[in-house]
Amino acid sequence: MSDQRRTAREVLALVTDDGTFTELASPESESRPDGPLAWQGYDASRARAAERTGEEESVVCGTAAVGGTRAVLIAFEFGFLGGSLGERTGDRLAGAYAHAREHRLPVVALIATGGSRMQEGMVALTQLQRVARQSALTREAGLPQIAVLRDPTTGGGWATLGAGSDVVLALPGAQVGFAGSRVRPPDADPAAYTAGAQLAAGAADAVVRAEDLRGVLEVWLRLLSEADGQGPPAPVPAALAPAGLPATGWAAVQRARSPERPRARAYLDAYFTTRVHISGDRCGGTDPDGILCGFGEHRGRTVAFAAQTGAGTRPAGYRTAARLIRLADRLGVPVLTLVDTPGAANDAEAERQGAGAAIAEVFGAVAGARVPVTTLVIGEGGSGGALALAAPDNTWATPDSYFSVIAPELAAAILKRTPAEAERTADQLRIRPQDLLELGIIRGIVQHP
């Protein structure tokens, strides 16, 4: 049996602590002969599925501990009519979400489904609306939702429980896509309907091996669940560092561009004892070279991070950062942003991907955040592409950083100056950390780790 084709009970045993799973009661709709459409032979099909799998429906719902953190778990049984969603499935899912809200528990959906159940027609399809409503209520309650995509995850199950979750993990080789294998165009590339393809397209956060799944879920649940209601303080830099500052604006630029200075990963490694990453903007793109986003543990508290890596940030990167900030705000998690970019990517493809709108999303997410947002400028702070991630009135800078309305070379070009005048322009722009402090742009200058 493949990792993806485990039964519902087997996948529950794979990820939960021994002896902790308790199945929830099933609040099922009134039974009608052969279902809501009186589909001839439907009852017989369900009876055969029950005999074959030992289950009464296509989902098993209950509570359990995962690495010590309690959660509501929803496990699909693909052997029961292809894990399809019907009216009774909707009843069970609605009950599971309601239990999660009542007891303040996160939701983990272990999905393996072919979609809606044909024998129930539109009654089955409308269960997707029920699921979407339950997910929305759970989101409004500030509870995290994590999906694990097994083989296969297609149709409405992917478009609601899967893609609608806050964090989307997938098993290697799992078939994932809205279109199931029997309804795709005959010439469709099968590689596009896989977990790996969804990761590359920004629709999933990570592909995780089955043997690693419990450990990964344990970290995610601990970080996101412990944040609930605690209101951890924002991370505030501790030590001011007035010494060793750049003498000129151009010196500040050179220090910020030096390959010797620490980059985002070094700061994240020094700050967090544990961290996990989200990936993708959920609309077709990723920017792994431009920004790192996720959640980490700092001194026992959960902090979200969005860290630029020194490259030009692409539209998908900004949208991923906005997604991270909105999720953190909903869960009550403070946010740390690290600014380090010469500016937003400005090539033609970036414009076609909606650079302006993506940057606007981040400005809006930071401006609207109810949780503390703290920013540290660790390198180049180039124009609005950097400012979008900066917290108003709570931005700090390291001695090897600068922040400018635009790169000095480009400023010189705009002012119709020669390239040789870029150095003088850098001084005039007052972009050094000490200049920014004097101008009231930053709160202080801090040493890097």
pLDDT tier at 363, thresholds 50, 70, 90: very high
- Candidates 413, 142, 390, 447; CA nearest to 266 is 447
- Mean pLDDT along residues 81-89: 95
The answer on pLDDT for 243 being more than 60 is no
pLDDT reading at 190 higher than 80? yes
Residue 419 is given by DSSP the state G
pLDDT at 242: 53
Q: Which of 103, 112, 187 is nearest to 141 (CA)?
A: 103
Q: What is the pTM of this model?
A: 0.93
Take residue 179 and report the two structure tokens written for it: 């279109």
Tokens of 412: 């010189």
Query: What is the Cα–Cα distance from 142 to 163, expressed in whole angstroms?
Result: 18
State the pLDDT at residue 447.
81
SS3 content of the chain, % helix, strand, coil (to 5): 40, 20, 40
2 band by pLDDT with thresholds 50, 70 and 90: very low
Please state, for a pLDDT cut of 70, what percent of the chain lies above it: 95
Q: What confidence score (pLDDT) does residue 164 get?
A: 95
Task: Give the percent of the chain with pLDDT over 90.
Answer: 82
Query: Residue 449 corresponds to which tokens in the numbers above?
Result: 């780790």
Inform me whether the pLDDT recorded for 236 exceeds 80. no
pLDDT of amino acid 10: 97
Residue 244: pLDDT band with limits 50, 70, 90: confident
- 153-163, pLDDT tens digit by residue? 999 999 999 99
Q: What's the rounded mean pLDDT across residues 292-296?
A: 98
Across the range 320-335, mean pLDDT stands at 97
Q: Is the separation of the CB atoms in 291 and 308 below 8 Å? A: yes
Q: What is the pLDDT of residues 22-48, one digit of tens each?
A: 999 987 777 789 989 999 999 999 999
- The residue among 226 and 428 whose pLDDT is bigger is 428
pLDDT at 234: 53
Residue 227: pLDDT band (50, 70, 90) is low
Residue 1 pLDDT: 38
User: Mean pLDDT, to the nearest integer, of 415-435?
Assistant: 90
Beta bridge partners of 429: none
**pLDDT the model gives residue 40:** 95
Q: What is the DSSP letter of 30?
A: P
Quick one: how far is CA 91 from the chain centroid?
A: 28
For the cut 60, the answer to whether the pLDDT of residue 231 exceeds it is no
> 51-72: per-residue pLDDT in tens?
999 999 999 999 999 999 999 9
Question: Do the beta carbons of residue 338 and residue 376 sit within 8 Å?
Answer: yes
Model confidence at 183, pLDDT cuts 50, 70, 90, reads confident
